[in-house]
């Protein structure tokens, strides 16, 4: 895949892949557990690269971008399964944050 894709297109591509190559979706609870597993794998990389933990020999082959993509993939599976349009959800989330947090971070002295 060389062209940029939208979130909506990505959700459709994940759905097509699951229904053809993947046969079917795992159930929602299984996919939630898989999502937590993938987030944990990303957290492990972050703790070693940016935190205070040192890398182990087994960490040499890890790819942070790939782990982030795994998280996104499973999140899209869950969105597809539960009828969530992630494009719409993200737009509404921006609206919420722009209202709720309009001045909050500018007034947070801890950030300066």
Which is more confident, 101 or 14? 14
Burial-class residue 11 by CB neighbours within 10 Å (0-12, 13-18, 19+). Answer: buried
Mean pLDDT of the chain: 93
Query: Which class for 77: exposed (0-12), middle (13-18), buried (19 or more C-beta within 10 A)?
Result: buried
Distance separating alpha carbons of residues 59 and 80, to the nearest angstrom: 32
User: HSE on the CB side for 97, CA within 13 Å?
Assistant: 7
Task: Please tell me the pTM assigned to this model.
Answer: 0.87
Output DSSP code: residue 51: S
Span 17-67, pLDDT tens digits: 999 999 999 999 999 999 999 999 999 999 999 999 888 887 778 899 999
Give the DSSP H or E segment for 11: helix 7-20
User: Per-residue confidence at 1, pLDDT binned at 50, 70, 90?
Assistant: low
Phi first, then psi: give them for residue 82, nearest 5 degrees: -105, 5
Q: What is the reported pLDDT for 46?
A: 94
């Amino acid at each position: 895949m060389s062209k940029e894709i939208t979130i909506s297109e990505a959700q459709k591509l994940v759905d097509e892949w699951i229904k053809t190559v993947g046969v079917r979706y795992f159930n929602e609870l299984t996919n939630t557990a898989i999502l937590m597993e993938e987030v944990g794998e990303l957290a492990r990389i972050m703790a070693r690269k940016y935190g205070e933990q040192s890398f182990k020999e087994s960490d040499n082959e890890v790819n942070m971008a790939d782990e982030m993509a795994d998280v996104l993939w499973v999140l899209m599976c869950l969105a597809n399964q539960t009828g969530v349009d992630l494009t719409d959800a993200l737009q509404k989330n921006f609206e919420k944050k722009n209202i709720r947090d309009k001045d909050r971070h500018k007034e947070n002295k801890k950030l300066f």
